[in-house]
């Protein structure tokens, strides 16, 4: 099985959800996005390499949130599980 590696391009049209397999908040956020009809690519930061992903986030954001889940919607940084929930509500994608 190959590991999906995200692009450094922050202007991507691909929605990106960064997770860890053991993270219940990640699973809840993924389920909420799916229920809302939001399509996304899932990236497991443990498979990619945690330090590599943190550096990648720092490259994109100027800092690294150093937690999961993290979500980008069409290249725009949304953030963690609380921000994902707010995003779903604001977008009225229920």
Q: Residue 73 maps to which CATH number?
A: 3.40.30.10
CB atoms within 10 A of CB 39: 8
Whether residue 40 is contained in a domain is answered as: yes
Alpha-carbon gap, residue 30 to 20, rounded angstroms: 11
Say yes or no to pLDDT of 2 above 70: no
Residue 84 counted as domain residue: yes
In a domain, 50, yes or no: yes
The answer to the question of residue 11 being in a domain is: no
What's residue 94's pLDDT?
A: 47
In a domain, 28, yes or no: yes
Provide the number of structural domains found in the chain: 1
pLDDT band for position 47 (50/70/90)? very high
Residue 7 included in any domain: no
Q: Which domain holds residue 64?
A: 16-90
CA 28/CA 54 separation, integer angstroms: 22
Looking at the domain assignment, is residue 5 inside a domain? no
Residue 10 lies in a domain: no
Instruction: Give this prediction's pTM.
Output: 0.88
């Amino acid at each position: 099985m190959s590991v999906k590696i995200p692009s450094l391009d922050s202007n991507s049209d691909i929605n990106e959800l960064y997770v860890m397999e053991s993270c219940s908040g990640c699973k809840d956020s993924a389920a909420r996005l799916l229920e809302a009809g939001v399509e996304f690519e899932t990236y497991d930061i443990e498979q990619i390499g945690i330090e590599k992903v943190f550096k990648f986030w720092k490259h994109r954001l100027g800092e690294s949130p150093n937690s999961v889940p993290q979500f980008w919607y069409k290249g725009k940084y949304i953030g963690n599980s609380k921000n994902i929930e707010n995003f779903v509500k604001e977008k009225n994608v229920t």
